[in-house]
Structure 1
Amino acid sequence: MIYDISRLLNANTPTWPGDTPFSYDLTWSQEETGSVNVGQITTSCHTATHVDAPFHFKSNGMTIEQLPLDIFVGPALVVDVSTKGEITVNDFEDIDFTNVRRVLLKTETWTGDEFPTQIPIIDPELGPFLLENGIELLGVDLPSVDPLDSKTLDTHHSLLKSGVHILEGLRLSNVAPGEYRLTALPLNIEGADGSPVRAILEDDTQA
C-alpha cells in the first residue's frame, strides 16, 4: 500500500508568511498552440512538503543538488508524538532504532489548510541523540523543525552538525506509527536552498 504524505500544491496551499506563494498558470493553451498545453509554476523552495538544504540556513552549506539521494529513499520509522508540546530525547526511550536511518515525527499539529500559528518545540539536543543512534534524516509534519519565530534556528543547526538531513511539511494524519519505505526525492536544482518533494510511504504488510 502507498501513502501519499505530501501536501497538495495549488493556489490555496499555505505558505510561510511573506514567502512566495505557489501558483500554476497555462503559458500556452492547446487552442493557442494547436497541439499541447504548456504550464508554468512559481513557488518558494519551502512551500508545503520540502527538503531543506544546509545552504538554507548556512551560507557555505551544501545546496540541494549536492545532497546524497540515498538519504531520501529507504526504510523509515514513523513515531507518534502528537501529545507533546515539546519533543525531547525522553520521548524516544522505548524506541528501537536498530537498522533505522530515517525518522518521521507525527505531531498532528498542522492538519488543516491554514498555516499554523504555533507548533511543538523540538529540542536541539535531539540532533546529537539522533547521531548517536545512526539517524540521518528527520522528517516532520510541521513547516519547520524550529519555532516559527526563531532567528537562530538552533534545531536546524544542531541537526546539521549531527549529519541529520531535514524533511518538512509532511502529511501524516492517515499514517499509523511503524515502519515503512520512504521515497522523498528533492529536485535536481543547481544552487538551491531547498526543494519541493512528492513524498510517499510504502507499507509492504498491507495488500
Structure 2
Amino acid sequence: MTRLWDISPTTSPSAPIFPGDAPYSLEWTARLGPGCPVNLSAVRMSPHVGAHADAPLHYASDAPSIDAVDLAPYLGPCRVIHALDCGELIAVRHLQHAAAGLPPRVLVRTRQRALTAWSDQFAAFAPETLDWLAARGVRLVGLDTPSVDPAASKTLDSHARLLRHDLRVLENLVLDDVPEGDYELIALPLKLQGACASPVRAVLRRPDPSAAPSP
C-alpha cells in the first residue's frame, strides 16, 4: 500500500498570480439538458497559475517549449527538504542537513502555509544554491512559492542558472503537510504546443507503513 500527498493547489479565479498574468476562468459552452447530452466547459488561464512546470522557453527565447522537454525529470525519486528559516533566499546552508545521497529531484518547503493570495514576499533560490544542487546530480527543483527568483528581480539570475544547468523546475507547490524525507514524484506537464509552461497535478507517494497488508 502507498500513501499519496497531493501537492497541487486548487486552480481557481482566486489563485494567486503575478500582477498582469491571466487568471483562471471557466465558461460553459454547452449544458446538459433537452437536446444536449453533455456539459462542456472552456478554460482560459496563464500556464503559470497554480502548480506548474516552467519550460526553458519561459526565460530564453531560443529554448524548448514545454511540449519539447524530456519528461523523465518530472517522474521519479524525490526529496522534500524543509527550509522554513530561510528568509528571502534559500541558501546552501538551509539544505545541507538533508544533502546526503540526494536523489535527482529536490522540493523545498519554505513556508508554514502556501500562499492563498498574491504577495511579493516569498522565498526564492539563491543562484549559487542551484549551482550546488546541479553539481550533486539534481535534475529538477521545486518550491512552494511562485518563482525561483524574487518577485522584484529584473535579472532573473536563478532562472539563468536553470538554463545553464538544464534544470527543470516546479513552482507554486503545496508542501504544508509533507514531512521532510524521500518520495516518488509524479508531476508531468501537459503537451501544450509552443507554451512557456504547463499546469501539473503534482503528487508525492511512498509506502504507507501504517497500512494493513493485503490478504
TM range (shorter): over 0.9
Percent same amino acid among aligned pairs?
36
Residue matched to 2:83: 81
- Point out where structure 2 has 5 or more consecutive residues left out of the alignment: none
Q: Which of 124, 137, 141 is matched with 1:138 structurally?
A: 141
Normalised by the length of structure 2, the TM-score is 0.91
In structure 2, the residue matched to 1:190 is 193
Q: Does 1:7 align with 2:9?
A: yes
Q: CA deviation at 1:100?
A: 0.4
The answer (yes or no) to whether the contact 2:149–2:159 under 8 Å persists in 1 is yes
Q: Can you list the C-alpha shifts for 1:114-163, whole angstroms capped at 9, x where unaligned?
A: 11230124210112211210000000100000000112110011122112
Aligned-residue CA RMSD (Å): 1.5
Q: Which amino acid aligns with 2:193?
A: E
Alignment partner of 1:170 out of 169, 173, 177: 173
Q: CA deviation at 1:32?
A: 6.0
- Cα 1:17/1:138, change in 2 over 3 Å: same
| 1:147 maps onto 2:131 in alignment | no
Once residues 198 and 20 of structure 1 are traced to their aligned partners in structure 2, the CA distance between those partners, rounded to angstroms, is: 19
**Cα distance in 1 for residues equivalent to 2:196 and 2:161:** 18
Which letter maps to 1:77? R
Name the amino acid aligned to 1:34: C
Give distance in 2, aligned partners of 1:80 and 1:149: 24
Task: Give every structure 1 segment of 4 or more consecutive aligned residues whose post-TM-superposition deviation is greater than 3 Å.
Answer: none
Which residue of 21, 24, 31 corresponds with 1:22? 24
1:114 aligns with 2:117: yes
> Who is 1:156 aligned against?
159
Q: Deviations over 1:173-202 (max 9, x none)?
A: 011110011100100011110000000010
Cα distance in 2, alignment partners of residues 53 and 91 from structure 1: 26
Contact 1:13 1:22 in 2 (8 A): yes
TM-score (norm 1): 0.95
Change (3 A) 1:116 1:29: same
Q: Distance in 1 between matches of 2:124 and 2:195?
A: 27
**How many positions carry a matched residue from both structures?**
207
Quote how far apart the aligned CAs of 1:91 are.
2.1
